[in-house]
Amino acid sequence: MLVVHPYMTEIRRLNWGCGDVTPPGWINSDIESGPGIDISRDILDGLPLDEDSIDYISSQHALPALMVWNQLDALSELHRVLKPGGVLHLCLPDLDLAITAYQSGRQDYFVVWDWDTISSNFITQIVDHGYNRTPFTYEFAEELLWKAGFADVRQVGYLHTVTPIQRLLS
């Protein structure tokens, strides 16, 4: 479903790092090819999209899969394809929240239950079974986004947004 606003005829939405989540009405992009994936390409090689061509980008936990030294290049590429005034919505694991939960003994915070101790579950969740290569704090994400050219960086809670454009996941 495409969202229509009075000032636009069609919202172009990119789902970057989509994996197997490929909703219709989105440009679904992942490094791997598969059903519903429109662009199968490594973001570090550049996306085959025009500059300033996307209104809204959503990325759910894809950025942590990149090495720390590739973060700025990936975010710069997302900035390149995003229209001025467009929105980049990143869903990132929050290392600060995880540390606070660990230090206060909140086992309920951790969705990983592979181990007997909170310490082991904390480590497993942070590295996401080896999938995550770069952990994120808000301050680190904010610095990277500024360096990539984003001017209005805001932290919002899980499943919240500050944009009227329909987000990927409800």
pLDDT in tens, 110-156: 876 677 888 888 888 888 878 899 999 999 999 999 999 999 999 88
Percent of residues in the chain assigned helix, strand, coil, to nearest 5: 30, 15, 50
pLDDT in tens, 80-95: 999 999 999 999 989 9
> 71 and 144 in contact (C-beta within 8 Å)?
yes
pLDDT in tens, 33-69: 999 999 999 999 999 999 999 999 999 999 999 999 9
Q: How many CA atoms lie within 13 A of 83 on its CB side?
A: 11
Q: Which domains does the chain have, with CATH numbers?
A: 1-92+134-165 (3.40.50.150), 94-131 (no CATH)
> 60 and 169 in contact (C-beta within 8 Å)?
yes
Tokens describing residue 112: 């990983």
Q: How far is Cα 142 from Cα 148, in angstroms, rounded to an integer?
A: 10
Tokens describing residue 149: 């050219």
